[in-house]
Amino acid sequence: MSTANLLLHPVRLRILQTLLGSGHLTTAQLRVRLPDIAPATMYRHIATLTRAGVLEVVGERRVRGAVERSYRVRQEMSVVGQDARKAMTLEDHRQAFAAFSGALLADFDRYLARDDADPAADGVAYRQGAVWLTEEEFTELVTEIQALVASRSDKAPGDGRTRHLLSLAVVPDEPGEQPG
């Protein structure tokens, strides 16, 4: 299975997005956070991600005669690399973006379903902006964004911290000259 097919499957993508920044979670904890995914489906996709090395088992304990495992994402294995993206067809990209969008919508729906959801007070933001950049300037922007997020990704839960999901989609618009 290609890296893109492995990581961009809608259910596996949601599992990964739920685990990112959460440290480690058990399958039971994942099921609480993703209640619309059937248990058998959840276990099957966790097994697929674990076999592929994207998830790793970081703990095991006995619970009523069964072994409960805790999983975390191996960051270096959870990215569709440049070579894999180049190998994807336009239809592959369309399907991957649909999976990404669906997972984003599911995260937002889960947030809105909370009794304490208050988008204005919680700083919920969704907007689109446009910038005119050369290829070099675009590369700099992406590098700056990655560094900015990385500089804050080492924070641990607690101390009043709330987990925030940052999602980014970058799509080139029509080529052309800047309007006069």
Complete domains list, the chain, with CATH: 3-121 (1.10.10.10)
Q: Residue 8: what pLDDT? A: 80
- The per-residue pLDDT for range 8-37, each reduced to its tens digit, is 888 998 898 888 877 789 999 999 988 889
Distance CA 156, CA 149 (A): 14
Q: Which two tokens stand for residue 129?
A: 């902006």
Is the pLDDT reported for residue 4 higher than 70?
yes
How confident is the model over 73-94, as pLDDT tens digits? 887 787 778 888 888 889 888 8
Among the listed residues 166, 177, 89, the one whose alpha carbon sits nearest the alpha carbon of residue 126: 166
Q: pLDDT digits over 149-166, tens only?
A: 888 877 777 888 888 878
pLDDT band at 50 (very low <50, low <70, confident <90, very high): very high
Mean pLDDT (the chain, rounded) = 86
Question: Angle 90-112/10-19 helices, nearest 10 degrees?
Answer: 50
pLDDT above 80 for 70? yes
Q: Encoding tokens for residue 49? A: 């991600």
Residue 49 CB-density burial (10 A; 0-12 exposed, 13-18 middle, 19+ buried): buried
* CA–CA dist 156, 28 (Å, integer): 21
What is the DSSP secondary structure assignment for residue 151, as one 8-state letter?
T
Looking at the predicted structure, is the pLDDT value of residue 3 above 70? yes
Say what the pLDDT of residue 9 is. Answer: 86
132 pLDDT higher than 60 = yes
Residue 115: exposure state from Cβ atoms within 10 A (0-12, 13-18, ≥19): exposed
Q: What is the mean pLDDT of residues 135-139?
A: 92
Res 151: pLDDT: 85
Residue among 159, 142, 151, 6 at smallest CA distance from 74? 6
Q: What pLDDT, on a 0 to 100 scale, did the predictor assign at position 76? A: 77
SS3 (DSSP) at 63: strand
pLDDT single digits (tens) 51-64: 999 999 999 888 88
